[in-house]
Amino acid sequence: MMGLLKRDLALAIRAGGGFGLSLAFFLIFTALVPFGIGPETGRLSEIAAGLLWLGALLACLLSLDRIFQLDWEDGSLDLLATSPLPLEALAAIKALAHWLTTGLPLVVAAPILGLILNLPGPAFVPLVLSLLAGTPALSAIGTFGAALTVGIKRGGLLLSLLVLPLYVPTLLFGAMAATRGAQGLDPTPTLALTLGITLGCVALLPFAAAGALRINLR
Amino acid sequence: MALSVTDIACARGPAQVLAGVTFSVAAGEALILRGPNGAGKTTLLRTLAGLTPPLSGTIEHADGAIAYAAHADGLKTQLSVAENLTFWAGVFGAPSITAALDAFDLHDLASRRAGELSAGQKRRLSLARLLVTGRPIWCLDEPTVSLDAGNTARFAAAVEAHLATGGSAIIATHIDLGLPTARTLDITPFISRRLRQDDPFADALT
Amino acid sequence: MASIWEYANPRKFMGTSAALLPWVTAIAALCLLGGLVWGFFFTPNDFRQGSTVKIIYIHVPSAIMAVNAWFMMLVCSLIWFIRRHHVSALAAKAAAPVGMVFTLIALFTGAVWGQPMWGTWWEWDPRLTSFLILFLFYLGYIALWEAIENPDQAADLTAVLCLVGSVFAILSRYALVFWNQGLHQGTTVSTVGVGVEENEGVSSVFLYPMLTCLTGFVFLFITLVLYRTRTEIRARRLKALIAQEQMA
């Protein structure tokens, strides 16, 4: 199992692995916001926490179709499915690898991008904590979506359509925690709810993803 | 019997392609599957590998006995030859990849990226993966595609060695591999082109 | 005694649904016509909301059916998973566009009603927003059915999506309440009772036409789903016959 994680991380980092693309998208998204909203720092700082959450979510979405698609195309998914590794473990590791290569860098980048959006001082810690608590759920849900659409040619758009409504609760609670922090309110209850969603997703969705993979490989 | 197949029917999507397939393969035995293009060799092998459930009939073998090698090589082009093999060795719990590198003469290529290999070299790497699975029953789909004569012989030798240790192999191929002990099974008589027997809507509109 | 599962046999289903359809269609037409005419022309205007309140006879039943259609799809998906009844899978497929249209009607009539009442077409209120999200779920579900060629595979994958989606839909519903306490009035139909004051719950003058409309919408849903399931069964059979032709 560690071998698969190591392989996926190595593949992500090497040429053509797409590591950093999501991060670059996040940067560009954040940089474009003032062009759409206007440069007044007061207004930007009010919506910065929510925007950063939205940007992280969209950046996460971009890289989802790579989770299983590449292994499907080159035939390794068939081989993995006939290996001793249970598909549930495969799905869980894929989600973990996705989080380590996409979610975690976004969490690290968010406070830096918060500076250019004038994120209020007290919001930094809640923002990072809420992203840390929420992005694993985004990876787990995304892995499930990727497993559903793995057999579909050019399924990227469909994948977004399926996954975005599933992202709603995570986004609501995560962004709320960050925004409450920005307003000087206690973010703990919403943080706990975000974490709750993540724990539920991480515990249960690999089973659903494995089921979808099994159906798709038939 | 290492593997015994009794009266199975295989489907590809909504269509049944093979029916009444019965055969068995003993330890130390190789079975060559033959049949025209599109007869259903790949479907049969996928069914044996457990990827596609059979429509009917039974397949008996020990748990986790089957190593499947598909048409596609299943290689990661950004990883080196050794890294590709080490990964699969890790998945299957094999201690070392040296024997696999030996069998397909891959030592010189070990540090090359798989993406830089020729089609035949990729095939050799993908076949070397079978040795690190440590599994007794090989199900191989056109294993010799893009191999030259020398490497085809190397592959045959690897199969022979595998059989000698009590393994078995089921190989779909069109060429003569030069395996003296191999039996041949022509699947043409099993071809059964029609809608799946279990089509629930067969009499819906009558 | 005949088991209820007998009706899951496609042939039996075709026969039974053909016999039932004229009746359910007639009930749907009668209830809808009667209920809407009753509601629109023979009930007093609300003392605060005026005649705009009458859109309630379309708005509330379609909103109720929008949610119930998804629930029916969930039940059908479970039946498909557990008992592998193909008619059940096709019924779920058939219900999705109907449910989606009910959701759209609820959203549209809500906007039309909300404009004079709240002074806005749209408000990010938990109820409105959860219907918008329900609409997205329908969209994804239908798109997944369309994207997969093999019908059994499509049935399996959409059923997985329906199960997981249901959990997330409920989660979203409660997350939205937490997110924004809304403008939308609470559910009033269920709080009716004899002698209830006029501004609490719906008085019986409004209730009976409402229940008639609701019955009409339920039967309209049944009618449409039966028709669409029959069409799906025929389409499936046709596809099989074409495939057979090509194989020969």
pLDDT of residue C191: 42
C198 has a pLDDT exceeding 60: no
In angstroms, what separates the C-alpha of A14 from chain C's closest C-alpha? Answer: 32
Per DSSP bridges, beta strands B3-12 and B56-61 are antiparallel
Domain range for residue A38?
A: 2-217
- Quote the tokens at residue A47: 């919506």
Give CA–CA dist C179/A157, Å, rounded. Answer: 28
Give CA–CA dist B199/B15, Å, rounded. Answer: 9
Averaged pLDDT for residues B111-128: 92
Q: ipTM of this predicted complex?
A: 0.92
pLDDT of residue C189: 53
Q: pLDDT of B5-23, one tens digit each?
A: 999 999 887 778 899 999 9
CB A194 within 8 Å of CB A130: yes
Give CA–CA dist A178/A186, Å, rounded. Answer: 10
Query: Which H or E run includes B83?
Result: helix B81-92
- Interchain CB distance below 8 Å, B204 and C248: no
Cβ-nearest to B194 among C150, C152, C244: C244
- The 3-state DSSP class for residue B37 equals coil
pTM of the predicted model, to two decimals?
Answer: 0.91
Q: pLDDT of A61-81, one tens digit each?
A: 988 988 999 899 999 999 999
If one counts the domains in chain A, the total is 1
- Quote the tokens at residue A82: 């006939």
Sign of CA pseudo-dihedral A187, A188, A189, A195: positive
The DSSP secondary-structure symbol of B170 reads E
- Interchain CB distance below 8 Å, B14 and C244: no
Q: pLDDT of C156-193, one tens digit each?
A: 999 999 999 999 999 998 888 888 765 566 665 544 43
Give CA–CA dist C237/B201, Å, rounded. Answer: 6
Range with the poorest average pLDDT among A110-124, B27-41, C131-145, C198-212: C198-212
- Interchain CB distance below 8 Å, A84 and B87: no
Residue (of B187, B201, B203) closest to B9 by Cα position = B187
CB C234 within 8 Å of CB B205: yes
Q: Which residues of A touch C128 (CB under 8 A)?
A: none
Give CA–CA dist B127/B66, Å, rounded. Answer: 14
In angstroms, what separates the C-alpha of A39 from chain B's closest C-alpha? Answer: 43
Task: Please identify which residue in the block is written with the tokens 């990072």.
Answer: A128
In angstroms, what separates the C-alpha of B9 from chain C's closest C-alpha? Answer: 17
- Angle at which helices C151-179 and C86-118 pack, to 10 degrees? 30
Q: pLDDT of B38-60, one tens digit each?
A: 888 999 999 999 999 998 899 99
Planar angle of CA C111, C117, C120, nearest 5 degrees: 50
Residue (of C97, C244, B85, C17) closest to C8 by Cα position = C17
Task: Please identify which residue in the block is written with the tokens 């099994």.
Answer: A214
Contacting residues for B58 by C-beta, under 8 A, at least 6 apart: B5, B6, B7, B8
- Quote the tokens at residue A87: 């598909």
CB B68 within 8 Å of CB A82: yes
Within chain C, residue ranges assigned H as helices are: 10-41, 56-83, 86-118, 126-147, 151-179, 204-247
